[in-house]
């Protein structure tokens, strides 16, 4: 199973799509998603308009994907079903993540579906790393998660190349509303995601006990942690404290 992916295989042929012109992605047994392609930073505002989304509080979800083992995913499922998905709905917020059918993205997508929620769930993925429904996923590509409502397909030939786009698009989608990043588990790419959020001035909530990068960052057990924690924008939270912290960061409590 790929992470948010690695490798040069291009499973999505983007040349047939006009930049910032929305198209439909059909998932068997699920509502269709709206998607858009962007090629440059100047396309971002047009992409948001094409998707028909209004500004609202925005949660950026990053962390474990293909490196998240099934046992870990089972343990984390409760976090998404009982805390993250209901809270996003309660705050009339939206979520931006990597969009592939793996790890924390799959957990949130399934929680949203299981609970019958309809908050915007927007996947931001590098075009060469994902496969549209009905297309065969290559060895180094991954299918899109079928419970997402929107996708933005960005340039990039390898996993992690979407990280700066994801961080910038979250701000564009928020449109002046508050935003925060939730880091759950994670591997090497999660370090890049966290750094991009910090660079964009966004608080990163790292879930202690979720494993991987989240724990390593919270414990400052890696040289990559110091530049992030010294920013003052990294907050470690136990599972039980996540809801209150996100509620405050996303504007539910003043």
DSSP letter, residue 209: T
CB of 61 closer than 8 Å to CB of 242: no
pTM (two decimals): 0.90
33 bridge partner residues: 25
Q: So what's the pLDDT on residue 21? A: 82
Start-to-end CA distance of the chain, whole Å, equals 42
240 C-beta neighbours (distance < 10 Å), count: 9
Q: So what's the pLDDT on residue 6? A: 32
What is the distance between the alpha carbons of residues 37 and 152, in angstroms, rounded to a whole number? Answer: 6
From the number of C-beta atoms within 10 Å of its C-beta (0-12, 13-18, 19+), residue 251 rates as middle
Q: Find tokens 């993540």 and name the residue.
A: 97
What is the distance between the alpha carbons of residues 81 and 175, in angstroms, rounded to a whole number? Answer: 27
* CB neighbour burial string for 14-27, b if at least 16 within 10 angstroms, e if fewer: eeebeebebbebeb
- Residue-range domains of the chain with CATH: 23-249 (3.40.50.450)
What is the distance between the alpha carbons of residues 191 and 188, in angstroms, rounded to a whole number? Answer: 6
Q: So what's the pLDDT on residue 195? A: 98
31 C-beta neighbours (distance < 10 Å), count: 12
Q: So what's the pLDDT on residue 140? A: 77
CB of 2 closer than 8 Å to CB of 187: no
Q: What is the pLDDT of residues 203-251, one digit of tens each?
A: 999 999 999 999 999 999 999 999 999 999 999 999 899 999 999 999 8
Q: So what's the pLDDT on residue 133? A: 85
- Regions of the chain where pLDDT drops below 70: 1-20, 66-67, 69, 71, 137, 252-254
């Amino acid at each position: 199973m790929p992470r948010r992916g690695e490798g040069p295989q291009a499973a999505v042929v983007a040349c047939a799509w006009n930049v910032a012109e929305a198209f439909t992605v059909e998932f068997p047994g699920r509502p269709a998603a709206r998607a858009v392609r962007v090629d440059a930073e100047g396309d971002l505002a047009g992409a948001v308009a094409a998707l028909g989304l209004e500004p609202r509080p925005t949660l950026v979800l990053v962390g474990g994907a293909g490196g998240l083992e099934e046992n870990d995913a089972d343990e984390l499922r409760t976090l998404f079903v009982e805390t993250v998905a209901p809270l996003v709905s309660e705050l009339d917020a939206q979520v931006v993540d990597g969009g592939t059918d793996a790890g924390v993205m799959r957990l949130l997508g399934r929680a949203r579906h299981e609970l019958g929620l309809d908050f915007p769930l927007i996947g931001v993925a590098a075009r060469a790393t994902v496969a549209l429904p009905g297309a065969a996923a290559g060895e180094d590509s991954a299918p899109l998660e079928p419970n997402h409502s929107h996708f933005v397909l960005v340039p990039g030939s390898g996993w992690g190349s979407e990280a700066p786009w994801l961080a910038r698009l979250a701000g564009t989608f928020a449109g002046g509303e508050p935003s925060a990043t939730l880091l759950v588990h994670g591997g090497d790419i999660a370090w890049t995601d966290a750094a991009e959020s910090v660079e964009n001035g966004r608080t990163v909530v790292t879930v202690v006990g979720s494993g991987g990068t989240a724990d390593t960052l919270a414990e400052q057990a890696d040289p990559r942690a110091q530049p992030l924690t010294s920013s003052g924008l990294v907050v470690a939270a136990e599972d039980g404290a996540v809801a209150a912290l996100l509620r405050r960061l996303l504007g539910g409590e003043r």
